[in-house]
Amino acid sequence: MNKKVLAILLTLMLIISATACGKSEEAPATMEVPDSSAPAASEESPAPAEATTPAPTESADASTADEAIAAYFENMPDHIYKIKQDEFVGKVVADEAMTILDIRGADDYNKGHIKGAVNLPWGPAIAEGLNSIPNDKPVFVYCYTGQTAGQAVMTLNYAGFDARSVNLGWNLGISKVEGVDAVTVTDAATLTSGTTEINADVQTALTAYYDGLSAVADSKYKNYKVSEDNLKAMVDAADDSIYILSVRGAKDYAIGHIAGASNIPFGKDMAASFSSLPKDKTIVVYCYTGQTAGQTTAALRLMGFDAVSLNGGMGMAANAPMGWVNKGFPVSSDAISKVEQLYAEMPEHIYKIAQAEFVEKVAADEAMTIVDIRSADDYAKGHIKGAINLPWGTAISENLANIPSDKPVFVYCYTGQTAGQAVVTLNVAGFDARSVNLGWNLGISKVDGVDAVTTTEATPVGGAVTEIAAPIQAAITAYYEGMVALKETPYKNYKVSEDELKAMIDANDESIYILSIRKADAFAEGHIEGASNIPFGKTMIPEFANLPKDKTIVVYCYTGQTAGQATAALRLMGYKAVSLNGGMGMESNAPMGWANKGFPVVQ
């Protein structure tokens, strides 16, 4: 259904409702109005006062309004009511027909805005200006960071306009586009009142929406938003007046979410799930950077829910330092819980097996599953008898269900380092997995008698025999798929070479944080300059909370294997982590490793 048809549908629904039910009641809202002269980049200035106000009241035509809002989502175009900042600027440069609304404060508009943009500062001015907005061309809306524009766009579409918000707003998006200066002006543009007829019930609902911002003008819910700090305090206090809703994708929710949050992924069918939400709590909605959560918040409020969006959403690099994760606040997931349990209950073998012991078990024909994660070509040249081949990468996540869970799993790679990562993901998935020390090249192939258990005969991967919980599968799939994006970078395979790290240190690269997980006495004897120390063991996971989430954590150990484990644990917990190739370096893995390369250490 195209946009004009949707607009007609919305209008007809409301006209029918007005005839049948009479004028709808205004819904009292529970949020606050901004100071239009104060431009805070987050579009919110947290206030200490706490508002205790009723949730929005449902109007007499609530069912019809709900149908109209459902249509907004069901007929959602591929652009999800947004436009990329560079595409938007390109349209302005090309002088395409459009209406541009700048909903920042008047002072900021006067300092500079997109050519032709009209200023309707966020708040009642938007509802008051509805009949001045032409409905014969697309409407593009921008604010400071995109979040309140998300709300505005939903309300404008509800009123029958073809409206989209500009990604990341003025501060984080538009102002950073190359060539934007050529279409930035200080001359004010205006609209003509009475240009568009707005259905009376729509006007009433949207007037109530924007007037409602003043109801909690001095509370933590200003602008129908809540700050990261205020939500963190409520979560820590187990505040039962809130209900947290993630509208991120199901896979991203599985990888990590705010503790206690439920999930309704943003999309065409999401309105069908709104009936499961409570109307006696404040629903805190969050997405990635706040923009689709803004749309969702507006829709929920128009349906009678008391909803606000989380400032900055979960947080991404594009909107740092805003957002939950960018603030360093914790996330929860089944995978994270498994990681915490894995290390709290770490056995003495620390999820490794000595190469000679492993070969003895194979020779004794003990019950086990062996996973060779080297390349298919190297597997074909010779491998441990009975080993299946799941080459390092997505083949591992794609075959989790095909690995038996009723016997121990032993994993080997070339040197032990990527097997360390694999072992963590397998244990998180519920297997009893260990990596073989020093892998094939440096360990297994050097064991006396290994030739007797080496073969070129392939062992086929069996069918599905193990049930993997969906959230765990999603997290591990994302883990291995995430390597693809790093394939052509210094961080291929979630590792970094000794030479690359040396160059970064020499360049005083502030994007990295070096972490030694060697024992404290070994760290004291000598470590890479600038490194901190969290010794590998049962107590290390709680200490990860002190690590930065805005840097790439370079982890190193002795030869790279426990650093591989720590890297996998950190990445599953939401950190950007890689391990140093070869670790600090020992005689057994020379010439790999920092010290084996002759690079300096400090005490």
**How many other CB atoms are found less than 10 A from the CB of residue 485?**
9
Q: Say whether 335-472 and 3-241 share the same fold.
A: yes
Average predicted confidence (pLDDT) for the chain: 90
- φ, ψ at 219 (rounded to 5°): -110, 180
Q: Show Cβ contacts of residue 425 under 8 Å, excluding neighbours closer than 6 positions.
A: 396, 397, 476, 479, 480, 568, 572
pLDDT for residue 18: 34
Of 458, 394, 80, 414, the residue nearest 266 (C-alpha) = 80
pLDDT for residue 62: 62
247-273: average pLDDT: 95
Give me the residues paired with residue 553 across strands: 513, 577
pLDDT for residue 15: 35
- The pLDDT confidence band at residue 251, using thresholds 50, 70 and 90, is confident
**How many other CB atoms are found less than 10 A from the CB of residue 179?**
12
Backbone angle region of 574, left / alpha / beta, with phi > 0 → left and psi within -120 to 50 → alpha: left
The full 3-state SS of 94-136, as one line of letters, equals CCCCCEEEECCCHHHHHHCEECCCEECCCCHHHHHCHHHCCCC
Q: How far apart are CA 224 and CA 497, in angstroms?
A: 47
Q: Show Cβ contacts of residue 165 under 8 Å, excluding neighbours closer than 6 positions.
A: 81, 82, 83, 140, 141, 142, 143, 146, 149, 150, 152, 153, 291, 294
Nearest 5°: the CA angle 268, 269, 270 is 100
- The pLDDT confidence band at residue 4, using thresholds 50, 70 and 90, is very low
Q: How far out from the chain centre does Cα 375 lie?
A: 31
What pLDDT, in 10s, does the model give residues 29-72?
Answer: 222 223 222 333 334 333 333 343 334 434 436 667 888 999 99
Give the count of alpha carbons within 13 A of 329, CB side only: 23
Q: What tokens appear for 565 in the block?
A: 């484990």
Of 140, 148, 136, the residue nearest 81 (C-alpha) = 140
CATH number of 3-241: 3.40.250.10
- Between 3.40.1690.10, 3.40.250.10, 3.10.450.50, 3.40.50.1220, what CATH number should domain 482-597 receive? 3.40.250.10
Q: Show Cβ contacts of residue 337 under 8 Å, excluding neighbours closer than 6 positions.
A: none
Contact between 143 and 169 (Cβ < 8 Å):
yes
pLDDT > 70 in the chain, percent: 90
Of 377, 378, 373, 380, the residue nearest 458 (C-alpha) = 380
- φ, ψ at 211 (rounded to 5°): -65, -30
Contact between 244 and 286 (Cβ < 8 Å):
yes
**Crossing angle for the helix pair 62-74 and 147-158, nearest 10 degrees?**
110
**Crossing angle for the helix pair 291-302 and 200-211, nearest 10 degrees?**
120
Listed by start position, the domains of the chain span: 3-241, 335-472, 482-597
**Crossing angle for the helix pair 334-344 and 470-481, nearest 10 degrees?**
90
What pLDDT, in 10s, does the model give residues 76-91?
Answer: 999 999 999 999 999 9
- φ, ψ at 298 (rounded to 5°): -65, -45
573-580: average pLDDT: 95
The full 3-state SS of 24-62, as one line of letters, equals CCCCCCCCECCCCCCCCCCCCCCCCECCCCCCCCCCCCH
Q: How far apart are CA 541 and CA 534, in angstroms?
A: 9
- φ, ψ at 411 (rounded to 5°): -120, 135
Q: How far apart are CA 435 and CA 416, in angstroms?
A: 7
Q: How far apart are CA 387 and CA 385, in angstroms?
A: 6
Q: How far apart are CA 44 and CA 42, in angstroms?
A: 5
Q: How far apart are CA 338 and CA 430, in angstroms?
A: 9
Sheet holding 139-142, edge to edge: 82-83, 163-166, 139-142, 99-102, 118-119
Q: Pairing between strand 352-353 and 118-119?
A: unpaired
Q: Show Cβ contacts of residue 395 under 8 Å, excluding neighbours closer than 6 positions.
A: none
- Asked if the peptide bond before residue 321 counts as cis, ω within 30 degrees of 0, the response is yes
pLDDT for residue 8: 38
pLDDT > 90 in the chain, percent: 86
What pLDDT, in 10s, does the model give residues 134-145?
Answer: 999 999 999 999
Q: What is the dihedral of CA 418, 423, 425, 426, to 10 degrees?
A: 140
pTM of the entire predicted model: 0.74
What pLDDT, in 10s, does the model give residues 388-435?
Answer: 999 999 999 999 999 999 999 999 999 999 999 999 999 999 999 999
Enter the DSSP assignment of 446.
G
Contact between 416 and 560 (Cβ < 8 Å):
yes
Architecture of the CATH domain 335-472: 3-Layer(aba) Sandwich (3.40)
What pLDDT, in 10s, does the model give residues 308-354?
Answer: 999 999 999 999 999 999 998 999 999 999 999 999 999 999 999 99
Map tokens 């708040």 to a residue: 123
pLDDT for residue 255: 86
Q: Pairing between strand 184-185 and 113-114?
A: antiparallel
Backbone angle region of 230, left / alpha / beta, with phi > 0 → left and psi within -120 to 50 → alpha: alpha
What pLDDT, in 10s, does the model give residues 156-201?
Answer: 999 999 999 999 999 999 999 999 999 999 999 999 988 999 999 9
